[in-house]
């Protein structure tokens, strides 16, 4: 399980909560009910980001199961190939910085909550998956678990 680093989790949560609070004040002053809904959505998003947002990788005898917000994939371990570990800067490319992103016309699915080490592997169909972890030793440990 990986969560975003503390500064990113609490900073992002504070930003979402501040926007929600500003919308809530605007809703109360103007009595516009859609602003109440937007304020509640931002406040819920802040709580989700601070306390619940995470990516997980579960490895058992038959499957490697990858989970992220609103996304899940199970790959049979016998179909996993080309496992590699590398340093990573923990940043996603593009404008959308969601924990699960697709890159290169969908040929790479990247699970990233920020970190310094990444494990990349392919399935039998040639689709690549990359999981970014807190540090390089954690990435090496995950690669060993997937490969054994």
- Tens of pLDDT along 16-60? 899 999 999 999 898 888 999 999 999 999 998 888 888 999 999
The one-character DSSP state at 66 is E
Rounded Cα distance between 12 and 16, Å, is: 6
Q: What is the DSSP letter of 45?
A: H
Tokens read off for 24: 């809530």
Comparing 123 with 148, the larger pLDDT belongs to 123
Local structure of 53: helix, strand or coil? coil
Q: Supply the pLDDT for residue 138.
A: 92
Please state, in angstroms and rounded to a whole number, the distance separating the CA atoms of residues 115 and 90: 5
Sign (positive or negative) of CA dihedral 86, 91, 95, 101: positive
């Amino acid at each position: 399980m990986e969560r975003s680093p503390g500064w990113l989790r609490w900073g992002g949560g504070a930003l979402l909560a501040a926007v929600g609070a500003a919308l809530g004040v605007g809703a109360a002053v103007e009595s516009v009910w859609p602003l109440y809904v937007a304020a509640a959505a931002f406040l819920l998003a802040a709580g989700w980001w601070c306390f619940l947002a995470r990516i997980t990788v579960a490895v058992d005898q038959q499957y490697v199961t990858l989970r992220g917000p609103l996304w899940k994939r199970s790959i049979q371990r016998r179909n996993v190939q080309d496992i590699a570990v590398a340093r990573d800067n923990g940043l996603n490319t593009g404008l959308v910085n969601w924990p699960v992103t697709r890159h290169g016309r969908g040929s790479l699915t990247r699970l990233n909550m920020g970190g310094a080490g990444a494990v990349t592997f392919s399935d039998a169909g040639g689709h690549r998956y990359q999981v970014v972890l807190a540090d390089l030793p954690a990435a090496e440990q995950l690669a060993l678990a997937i490969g054994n």
